[in-house]
Amino acid sequence: MAAHARIRQGLNLALLLLLAGTAGAQANGPAAAAADSSSQKAEVFLSIKGRTRQTPVAVFPFTADAADPGAATAAGVFNSTLIQDLRNAVHFEVVLDSARADSGSWGPVLERWGAAGARALVRGTVSRQGEQMQVFAAVYRLPDRRLLVAKPYLGAPHQMRQVGHQVCDDIVLALTGQRGVSQTQIAYVDQARGNKEIFVMDYDGQYPRQLTSDQTIDLSPAWAPDARRLVYSSLSGAKWVLRVLDIASGVAVPLRVPSAMSTAPEWSADGQRILFAMMAKGSVDLYSWTMSEGRLERITDHPEVETEPAASPDGRRIAFTSDRTGLPQVYLANADGSDVHRLTSEPDAYEGSATWSPDGRRLAFVRRGFEGFDVYLVEVAGGSPVRLTAGGSSENPSWSPDGLQLAYCATHGAQSDIYVMNWDGSNPRKLTASGTCLVPAWSPWPVAAP
């Protein structure tokens, strides 16, 4: 059985089975400030049965003084980051325009792109400001030429990727009314050096860095809602323990729960509790640990194995995996464990790893087929699951905080890597290439420092 249970890379369902068995601004020139975009309607339309409609956006690569090699290099890094971020943002069809219009001739350019069907135009400059670089970005809504963003951004030359992410997120907010995800991160497990350690990378797969050096098996990273902490499972001797890692300091503190087998942790939506699976008195059930009080509460009480808890965004319900009917399947219940019922009605399905969309309307989960696992999507209110992946084995789905994308682990032969796709299964793209990466967890939006 354990050979088939690759959900959460050998921990959650594999451990489940192991434990069960043995255990209008002016167009010419910049404005003084960006217009308020909070009242703008989103340009993206979503349907569970359809594809995402994209808004055409014209982008002029930001210019820099050719006589300043440092500024030109910074502009190159910034432009490549911004353009790729906009393409990754789901909302937009990016059209590049390399024409060099003078500062006095943007009116005709805006008119041309508006007539061509573009709904926005992005342009700007990169210039040196002492030891820093200043990026000035302007975004026009078309065809009415309303200036939505006109804003300077400062950063050191080596920070141009971060500035590009910030500019993209501001563009997404201005054009859709929703926050962008370019400044989020994805935690994951890498087993390249023999052990399994927790790593984190930018949302686009760039800048990977190692978070843990436990020299053991670390699995199931889960982000706190503040995006500053991770909880994960760690094999310590013969025990599975839970550790809470502070990202900034790198300090990991174990939870003092009274069991040698605690796995599959997940945060509650308010960040006050950690839900997890724990073996006690011969059975594996779901428990809750209140962080501020160190209080343990039992959620489920069943002789079969219950694991992989996932709290709904409103905190009222949980999804979890149980083999109470003989095979691992996904169940829904109230937050206190009452009113348990199956998510789907497929009689002999082998399922797990359910995760709620940020709006609470959908659940992504995995189901085993002939070739391996695939990621499925289902409306919580009812309906038939929609398969999003095919080929190889795809597992461990994790939502982006805007609910428009899913990270997942795809295995082909002996190679496992992290991928991202749009919520409807379109535009899959590979983020890692080592063949040793597993169990992605997409971060919430970063919270500003107090």
Could you read off the pLDDT of 292-310 as tens digits, one per residue?
A: 899 999 999 999 999 999 9
CATH number at residue 80: 3.40.50.10070
Measured CA to CA, the distance from residue 442 to residue 187 in angstroms comes to: 6
**For the segment 245-264, what is each residue's pLDDT rounded down to a tens digit?**
999 999 999 999 988 899 99
Domain assignment of residue 45, yes or no:
no
* pLDDT for the residue numbered 22: 32
The answer to whether residues 223 and 164 belong to one domain is no
Residue appearing with tokens 């997890």: 276
User: 176, 195, 224 — which closes off a domain?
Assistant: 176
Q: Does a structural domain hold residue 262?
A: yes
- Domain span at residue 79 reads 55-176
- The DSSP secondary-structure symbol of 41 reads P
What is residue 42's predicted lDDT score, i.e. its pLDDT? 42
pLDDT of amino acid 447: 80
Pair 292, 144 in one domain: no
Same-domain check for residues 260 and 279:
yes
The reply to whether 236 and 383 lie within a common domain is yes
* Stretch (H or E) spanning 108: helix 106-115
Alpha carbon distance 199, 211 (integer Å): 5
The pair of three-digit structure tokens given for residue 450, joined into one six-digit string: 């107090």
Domain match, 221 and 342 both: yes
Spatial strand order of the sheet with 317-322 comes to 306-311, 317-322, 329-334, 341-342
| Residuewise pLDDT in 10s, the chain (450 residues) | 333 334 343 334 444 433 333 333 333 333 333 333 333 444 433 333 345 578 999 999 999 998 999 999 999 999 999 999 999 999 999 999 876 655 557 888 999 999 999 999 999 999 999 999 999 999 999 999 999 999 999 999 999 999 999 999 999 999 999 999 999 999 999 998 889 999 999 999 999 999 999 999 999 999 999 999 999 999 999 999 999 999 999 999 999 998 889 999 999 999 999 999 999 988 999 999 999 899 999 999 999 999 999 999 999 999 999 999 899 999 999 999 999 999 998 988 999 999 999 999 999 999 998 889 999 999 999 889 999 999 899 999 999 999 999 999 999 999 999 999 999 999 999 999 999 999 999 999 988 654
Query: Rounded to two decimals, what is the model's pTM?
Result: 0.88
Give the residue from 176, 207, 226 where a domain finishes.
176
Q: Do 188 and 172 belong together in one domain?
A: no
Q: Alpha-carbon distance 237 to 109, whole Å?
A: 66
Give the pLDDT of residue 182. 97
Listed residues 176, 198, 222: the one ending a domain: 176
Same domain, 336 and 278: yes
Indicate if 67 and 97 belong to the same structural domain: yes
